[in-house]
Amino acid sequence: MDYEEAVGQFLEYLELEQNRSLKTIQNYSHYLTRLSDYAGEIKLKDIDAELVRKWRMWLNRLPTATSDELSKITQNYHLIALRSFLRFCAKRDWETMQPDKIELAKTSRPQVTFLAPDELERLTSQPDTSKQNGLRDRAILELLFSSGLRVSELVGLDRDHINLKRREFTVRGKSQKDRPVFISDEAAAWIEQYLAKRADNTKPLFIRYSGSKKVDNSGNFTRLTARSVQRMVARYAKMAGITKHVSPHTLRHSFATDLLMNGADLRSVQAMLGHSNIATTQIYTHVTDPHLKEIHSKFHAKKQ
């Protein structure tokens, strides 16, 4: 069977049988297309250890818009997509490489970057709230820190998704898993102020104020994009004089570290972040364990 034909069936399988999100399917399509970009027209039986080795070398030297090469983590995403595809092929008894023959590259654990309380205060004070887009931006910053939402989850919110009186709602995150989200009084107040200034009746919770004004019934033409939120957060961080790299995910990290520093248990934080595996949540513990700080203060270089 042709590789591209099999990939097409695999993507349909992800959508119809696995109920994967459109974003996940797009990512898998992108990663798997990279193999045909390198190898050209191939059959499934052409995929072997040597082809994968050469493809990995090609990926390792592939430049990006922001770097001279793909990161090891991004390269691993390609390999994970290929392994999933090969498992799909194996289930259908199609002749090709065994998925367990592919090993991921070793990567270092990513360093957690989060904002200190004074940095958060400086960041959230940057938007000009006398303007409607400034009110929107303040509401976004407050909501990101208060909830730990992923940026994709935030931009997917509609007005009727969020209950400002109860200050809680449900969001569907990765792998189509639902989880409860709770927000602070302050975040709810800023969102309420922002919505009170809105004169439109479109569905998205956060809308853009530049570009095309064309709108459909769903309001998706006005919906703020994840990339716009990323640029907005980076711009305000620069205005606030914060030198570290700041993104919406930095505010998610800040949400988690704030909870743990104030005594929240790891399992609860895992649930609020929507992590499937607690090992993912444990990346925060080495910088947030209050007990270790207490032990250090009590016993290190103690003077008699």
Q: Which residue has the higher pLDDT, 69 or 124?
A: 124
Read off the CATH number of the domain in which 64 is found.
Answer: 1.10.150
Contact in structure between 142 and 186 (CB atoms under 8 Å): yes
What's the rounded mean pLDDT across residues 203-220? 71
109 is catalytic: no
Using DSSP, state whether 199 is helix, strand or coil: coil
pLDDT attached to residue 284: 80
Q: From the candidates 159, 172, 174, 203, which is the catalytic residue?
A: 174
203 is catalytic: no
Residues 228 and 167 in one domain: yes
Name which of 34-48, 58-72, 84-98, 231-245 the model is least confident about: 58-72
Q: Which phi and psi (to 5°) does residue 160 adopt? A: -80, 0
The domain total for the chain is: 2
Residues 59 and 126 in one domain: no
Read off the CATH number of the domain in which 199 is found.
Answer: 1.10.443.10
Which residue range is the domain that position 72 belongs to? 3-101
Whether 108 is in a domain gets the answer no
Q: Examine the pLDDT at 52 and tell me if it is beyond 90.
A: yes
Residues 78 and 125 in one domain: no
Q: From the candidates 20, 34, 78, 275, which is the catalytic residue?
A: 275
Q: Examine the pLDDT at 112 and tell me if it is beyond 90.
A: no
Whether 112 is in a domain gets the answer no
Q: From the candidates 20, 150, 167, 223, which is the catalytic residue?
A: 150
pLDDT attached to residue 115: 93
> Using only C-alpha atoms, what is the Rg of the chain?
23
Residues 135 and 265 in one domain: yes
249 is catalytic: yes
Mean pLDDT of the chain: 88
pLDDT attached to residue 292: 67
Q: From the candidates 34, 78, 167, 252, which is the catalytic residue?
A: 252
150 is catalytic: yes
Q: Examine the pLDDT at 293 and tell me if it is beyond 90.
A: no
Query: Sorting pLDDT into bands at 50, 70 and 90, what band is 184?
Result: very high
Which DSSP category does 161 fall into? G
What ranges make up the beta strands (E) of 158-295?
A: 168-172, 178-182
What's the rounded mean pLDDT across residues 53-77? 83
Residues 84 and 180 in one domain: no
138 is catalytic: no
Residues 71 and 45 in one domain: yes
pTM, two decimal places: 0.71
Whether 107 is in a domain gets the answer no
Q: Examine the pLDDT at 65 and tell me if it is beyond 80.
A: no
pLDDT attached to residue 171: 87
